[in-house]
């Protein structure tokens, strides 16, 4: 069964996509800390901004803005500015 990560929107298709292989989680391995708990808003925003800057060539400020705009549409961050 494919789920979509509530924190970043990534499709989770295989066991390795889940934190610690736990398919009951609604967030992906990229949005989890080493202990399997979900990262905070600030941690996830920084991680997504880094990924966006690296893959799309945006500067850090623009990448952070893009990350926050994407996160605003995701269930884990509902109600955040």
- Measured from the Cβ of residue 24, the count of other Cβ atoms closer than 10 Å reads 7
Q: Are 41 and 56 in contact (CB under 8 A)?
A: no
Q: With a cut of 80, say whether residue 64 has pLDDT above it.
A: yes
Reported pTM: 0.89
What is the pLDDT, as a whole number, of residue 79? Answer: 82
Q: With a cut of 70, say whether residue 42 has pLDDT above it.
A: yes
What is the total count of domains within the chain?
A: 1
Domain that includes residue 16, residue range: 3-77
Beta-carbon contacts of residue 57 (< 8 Å; ≥ 6 apart): none
């Amino acid at each position: 069964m494919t789920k979509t990560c509530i924190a970043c929107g990534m499709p989770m298709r295989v066991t390795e996509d889940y934190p610690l292989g736990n398919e009951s989680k609604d967030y992906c391995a990229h949005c989890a800390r080493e202990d399997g708990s979900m990262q905070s808003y600030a941690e996830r925003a920084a991680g997504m901004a880094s990924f966006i800057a690296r893959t799309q060539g945006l500067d850090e400020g623009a990448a952070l803005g893009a990350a926050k705009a994407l996160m605003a549409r995701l269930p884990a961050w509902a109600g955040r500015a």
